[in-house]
Structure 1
Amino acid sequence: MHAPQLLKIAVVGPESTGKSTMAKQLAEHWNTVCVPEYARYYCQHLNNQYTLQDELNMYYGQIALEESLIPLAKDNLLIADTTIMTIKIWSDHLFGHTPEEVLREIARREYDFYLIMDIDLPWEDDPLRDFPEDRPHFLEVWKTELNKLKASYSVISGQGTARSENGIAAVSRFLNSRFR
């Protein structure tokens, strides 16, 4: 008998779009674990002065955090508040390229479904956020990168409870399609 395959749902998108809130809501709804965004912990003392080495450190930290939480996934469902694709997007934006090891792991590390959080929420200032005027650009970058991977995703819009209901509904549709 085979163990059921772990399904990984990733919540991604531009800054200040409710990714962490959505990821926590999904994990709570399905009573499973949420992998937090490692970069939020890492960047607290960098004062927005990032190096390519910092991006690599966040890459390794995100992978280690995700791997350490996989055993806690209930019903073979893991929710991730971002993925290492974020490292590629920021490395390309800030430094003009992405280290090869990151690119290789992005190609290898699969997620079953993505929620891209839309930019229809107002910007909330936070010391770890940098580019409020570039959210439309980053939304398109996320779509482009996921399309390159031929990833399955939904863009999640809405305010307040409508946003969380839209996210839960999108994941429900995905899960139902897997088990038909």
Structure 2
Amino acid sequence: MTRLTRVVVIGSESTGKTILTDRLASHFGVLWTPEFVRGYAEQKGAPIVDSDQWPIAVGQMAAQDEAEVRARAAGHQLLLHDTDLVSTVVYGHHYHGQCLPAIEEEARRRLANQYLLLDIDVPWVPDPVRDRGYRRQELHALFEGTLRLFRAPFTVIRGSWDDRFSLARTVIESALGMV
């Protein structure tokens, strides 16, 4: 079986995660999973509450598991995720002051091979799901702290949109042994 390298694009709101993940997937010709919670929040049409943590985690895991099966079937060596359970952990702590221990355990068990932590050095763009642009620094620090606590391999990605793509591409190529 071909080794599948999983790379997660992660970070606080409005840092370009979806755009970068899509661009990287197109560049490498691979699959990617979207951020589950965005669709969940849009469908719910109400604020996310503490009891939403488990359904969000289950949906995220299911989407990633299904994508992994498809990527392996296609013979891909790379699978990209626009966030993962680490994000669920971070947002649980950020919004609710805690995260379910089962979610934290699953997040640790399912750590990706590489995380691309997007910096907050780009303009915040509001939308109906985003609500805390004024707390970006705090949230970014929580993402970084959680990745360190989980001992997850990560690289901070910053700069212009083109700089972000270039650095992310280089990190992925290195993870794949292409450089």
- Which residue number in structure 2 is paired with residue 99 of structure 1? 100
- In structure 2, distance between residues paired with 1:126 and 1:166: 27
Q: Indicate which of 15, 18, 33 corresponds to 1:17.
A: 15
CA contact (8 A) 1:48 1:128 kept: no
- Which residue number in structure 2 is paired with residue 124 of structure 1? 125
- Which residue number in structure 1 is paired with residue 37 of structure 2? 39
- Which residue number in structure 1 is paired with residue 80 of structure 2? 79
Identity of aligned residues (%): 27
* Pairwise CA distance, 1:53: 1.9
* Pairwise CA distance, 1:47: 4.2
- Which residue number in structure 2 is paired with residue 157 of structure 1? 158
Output the amino acid matched with 1:164: F
User: Residue 124 and residue 48 in structure 1: after superposition, are their counterparts in 2 closer, same or farther (change >3 A)?
Assistant: farther
Higher deviation after alignment, 20-29 or 8-17: 20-29
- In structure 1, distance between residues paired with 2:51 and 2:166: 38
* Pairwise CA distance, 1:157: 0.9
CA contact (8 A) 1:34 1:80 kept: yes
- Which residue number in structure 2 is paired with residue 113 of structure 1? 114
Output the amino acid matched with 1:68: E
* TM-score using structure 2 length: 0.92
- In structure 2, distance between residues paired with 1:52 and 1:158: 34
- Which residue number in structure 2 is paired with residue 7 of structure 1? 5
- In structure 1, distance between residues paired with 2:115 and 2:138: 18
Task: Name the Cα RMSD after superposition.
Answer: 1.6
What is the total number of aligned residue pairs between the two structures? Answer: 176
- In structure 2, distance between residues paired with 1:159 and 1:145: 25
- In structure 2, distance between residues paired with 1:85 and 1:140: 13
* TM-score using structure 1 length: 0.91
SS at 1:16 equivalent: coil
- In structure 2, distance between residues paired with 1:76 and 1:173: 13
* Pairwise CA distance, 1:169: 1.8
- In structure 2, distance between residues paired with 1:16 and 1:51: 21
Cα distance per residue 1:96-149 (max 9 Å; x no partner): 111121011012112000100010110111110011011111111111111112
Higher deviation after alignment, 157-166 or 80-89: 157-166
Higher deviation after alignment, 107-116 or 44-53: 44-53
* Pairwise CA distance, 1:13: 0.4
Q: For structure 2, list consecutive stretches of 5 or more residues without a partner in the other structure.
A: none
- Which residue number in structure 2 is paired with residue 68 of structure 1? 66
User: Residue 162 and residue 107 in structure 1: after superposition, are their counterparts in 2 closer, same or farther (change >3 A)?
Assistant: closer
- In structure 1, distance between residues paired with 2:90 and 2:163: 28
Q: For structure 1, list consecutive stretches of 5 or more residues without a partner in the other structure.
A: none
SS at 1:78 equivalent: strand
Output the amino acid matched with 1:102: I
Output the amino acid matched with 1:20: T
CA contact (8 A) 2:119 2:158 kept: yes
- In structure 2, distance between residues paired with 1:50 and 1:75: 35
